Structures are given as C-alpha cells and as structure tokens.
Chains A and B, each alone.
Chain A
C-alpha cells in the first residue's frame, strides 16, 4: 500500500492537500476522489498500480494537436475523480472506487513484456501495472509517450508521478489529461515531469463550475498560469454544454482571458457536447453555436482554435499559419492528413508555429 503525498497529519486525522477539495479525513474515512483512505493517521492511495483501463490512442484523441502529431500514446487510467461532472462521459470509471473497477478477490496479476495477444476482462480486473511495468509495456508497444487520462490523474497523483519519473528515465514523454483542479504545490511537483497537458476549462463562471462540475474556477485558472510559467506545453478544451457553458458573452470573456494571460498562440478546442450521464435530457451542442464560439475566439486574437466531436465539419481540426494564413495541418477526426510544418516552422512562410512537433 502506497502512502499518499502532499497531506497534513492532524493527530490521527489527515488532510489531503493534492486538490482544492482539501479532504479532511478521520481514521477510516475515504477521500472525495474515492482513491485515498486514512488508516490510523496515515493517508494511503488505493489507486497506485491499479489501472482500470489502458489503451493505445492517437495523440489527437486527447486532444493534443500541437504535440508529436500522428503519434500513438499509451493511455491509462485508474478509478476516481476530484469532480462530479453532471455530463461526465467516463463516469463508469471516474465515479467509482478502485475496488469497484478491479477484482478485489482474485489472484493479483502483473503484466510484463512480451505482451499477450489479448487480455480477458477477468485478467484486466486483476492486473497490477506498476510504474516500471507501464514503461516496459509502452516501449514494447512502440509508443513515444504515456498519457494519464480518461478519469483524472490528480486522483492517482502518486502513481502518475512515479510513472512519469520512470518514463523520463527511458526518454518517454508524459501527457496529462486533467481537469486542472489541483493545488499549486503538488502541481509544481508533478508537472516538472510532464511534457504536455490537455486541461479542461469547463467554463468561465464559478457558479456554473460549482453546479455542473462540483468544482471552482479559480484553481483551474491558476493551474493554467503555472503551466505557462513552467513551460509545459498544454492545450485547453472547452466543452460547450447547452444551457450551461454555451453563452457567447462568457465564452468571449474566457477567450479574452486566455489571450491576455496565456497568449494568442495558446490552442483552444471547443468540443461538442453529447447527452451523457445526468444530462441526457439536453440536446447535442448545435453546430452553429460551435462555429460562433470559434469566431468569438478568433476575434479575441487566438490563432489556434479548433472544434471537436464533429465528424464532417470542414476545417474543424485545421491549423492555419498565423502569418501567411495557409492551412498547414489538416486532420480528419484523429488522423493527420496533411502536415506542412518543418522543424516547427510553416513550410510556406517559415513562421514559427507553437508546439512540440518532433
């Protein structure tokens, strides 16, 4: 059992300081993210080495459009999340405890290369994958990066951090897909080992954040500023949820903040909502709303604005050179169909294009 990091001992009570929930736990209590327990005055994580799912994805699925385009990334998750989003698309794992996504009774298994042709559901449920195992499996699969994704890596902080360290020793890249709700100290501790991040900016209204996600806006904005300061490459995604996060004046304020605080080269993805979890009564985001949001973002000066979850929309995933205005990267869902960037520069005019391209 792995002891947690970033917590306070308060007699036999503990207070977790990883995320802004700051859970105060008496002996026997479990954290809001469901992954941490106080046993006799010590905080332990149940998630360490216990991924409930893993898969090889194109990096564009994260989505990251300016980081190693066309590459594959070994992606894994444990149960648990610091949020309670009404629209969560992965609620079957994010809103579960570790013992609900694993088989707590079965004989433990470990996966090492050479890899099996397939894994049964039963084997998957009994599988432990420790940091060195994750790295070995990633190398065996020929992936240049590991993604901590699907649920929320902040909820499996120690597992993520140790795996990131092990990955860097083998020159693999680390990608975090996160809601960004993390305290500043653990954020700085963790992101020094991270090469790229995708951060959800789920809205720009604190009241909506509380209602839709059970979170707060301010910590997310702070995380974005810290990432900028640390020089971690990151891209922002904003899910446009009808009646919650689709007000154009709020989107305009959000884009103005991004342009001012993070710069015009900060990529922003608008993603289409699909009815999920507790919000199945809402319709998918109208395409016209997404187009208008993109126009608003561009009007605020952002250079790289994308629309996701909309197969068939022309130029939804196209990167335009900010200088010569030619299309330099084209994508079809998760596939890169055109890449006119050489050594990080536009092939037509030589302008530097923000991102990590090789």
Chain B
C-alpha cells in the first residue's frame, strides 16, 4: 500500500464470521467446508449446473 501512518485497528473479542461458521459446523455436525458443489436441483426448479 505504501501510504501514511498506521491505521490497523484490532477487534479483540469480536466474533468473526469464521468463528460463527465453526460453531455452526460443530452444532450441526456437518462440514460445510467440504461441500463446494450443490446437489442438482429437483424437478420444477432450475438446474444448479456447473462442474465440480
């Protein structure tokens, strides 16, 4: 970046989205982190498409 004086602010104690994600994953017993590809859409809905 190469500009100015320090302006990095710590957010100690603040929960990040990743903290929340981890809690959800633990609570639900699912690993959203490994499911990058949605399952195909069902009849009546448009396809999710795409390669994995």
Residues of A within 8 A of B (CB): 1, 15, 20-32, 34, 37, 39, 44, 46, 48, 50, 82-84, 97-99, 102, 104-105, 107-119, 123, 127-128, 140-141, 214-216
Among B1, B30, B45, the residue within 8 A (CB) of A24 is B45
Q: Is the CB of B3 within 8 A of A107?
A: no
Q: Which residues of B contact A108 (CB under 8 A)?
A: 10-11, 14, 16
Known: A115-B7, A141-B3. A99 touches B39 (CB 8 A): no
Besides A21-B38, A115-B1, 17 other A-B contacts (C-beta < 8 A):
A23-B48, A24-B48, A28-B24, A29-B32, A29-B35, A30-B32, A32-B37, A32-B50, A84-B50, A104-B16, A108-B10, A108-B16, A109-B9, A110-B9, A114-B7, A116-B6, A119-B8
Segment 1-41 of B: residues with Cβ below 8 Å from A: 1-12, 14, 16-22, 24-25, 28, 30, 32-33, 35-39, 41
Given A32-B50, A119-B8, A215-B50, are A1 and B20 also a contact pair (CB < 8 Å)? yes
Q: Give the complex CA separation of A26 and B50 in angstroms.
A: 18
* Minimum distance in angstroms from A30 CB to a CB of chain B: 5
Instruction: Determine which of A30, A44, A214 lies in contact with B50 in the assembled complex, contact meaning CB atoms within 8 Å.
Output: A214
In the complex the two chains form, is B33's CB within 8 Å of A97's CB? Answer: yes
Q: Would you list 7 pairs from A and B whose C-beta atoms are within 8 A, ordered by A residue? A: A32-B36, A32-B50, A84-B51, A104-B16, A116-B5, A116-B6, A118-B1
Q: Are B8 and A29 closer than 8 Å at their CB atoms?
A: no
CB distance from A48 to the nearest CB of B (A): 7
Given contacts A24-B41, A99-B21, contact A37 B32 (CB under 8 A): yes
- Verify B24–A15 contact, CB threshold 8 A: no
Residues of chain B within 8 A (CB-CB) of A31 are 38
Measured in the bound complex, the distance between the Cα atoms of B8 and A104 in whole Å is 18
Listed from nearest, the 8 A-B pairs whose CB atoms lie closest are A28-B30, A104-B18, A23-B38, A114-B4, A108-B11, A115-B4, A214-B50, A214-B51
A48 and B25 alpha carbons, distance in the complex (Å): 19
> Using a CB–CB distance below 8 Å, which chain B residues touch chain A?
1-12, 14, 16-22, 24-25, 28, 30, 32-33, 35-39, 41-42, 45-52
- What's the Cα separation between A107 and B42 when bound, in Å? 41
Closest to A16 in B: B38
Q: A21-B38, A30-B35, A116-B7 are in contact. Are A99 and B48 (CB under 8 A)?
A: no
Residues of A within 8 A of B21 (CB): 37, 46, 99, 104
By the criterion CB–CB under 8 Å, are B50 and A21 in contact? yes
A115 and B3 contacting across the interface, CB-CB below 8 Å: yes
A214 to B33, CA, bound (A): 21
Pick from A27, A99, A114: contact of B33, CB below 8 A.
A99
A residues in contact with B37, CB < 8 Å: 32
Contacts of B5 in A (CB 8 A): 114-117
Name, among B17, B25, B30, the residue most crowded by chain A CB atoms within 10 Å (CB to CB).
Answer: B17
Of all chain B residues, which has the CB nearest A24? B41
Question: Known: A24-B41, A108-B16. Contact between A39 and B24, CB under 8 A?
Answer: yes
When distances are taken between beta carbons in the complex, the residues of chain B under 8 Å from A1 are 17, 20
Q: How far is the CA of A29 from the CA of B42 in the complex (A)?
A: 15
- Assess whether B48 is in contact with A112, with CB atoms less than 8 Å apart: no
A34-B36, A46-B17, A48-B17 given; A110·B11 CB < 8 A: yes
Would B10 and A109 count as touching, CB distance under 8 A? yes
Instruction: Tell me, rounded to whole Å, the shortest Cβ–Cβ distance linking B30 to chain A.
Output: 3
Partner of A117, one of B3, B11, B45: B3
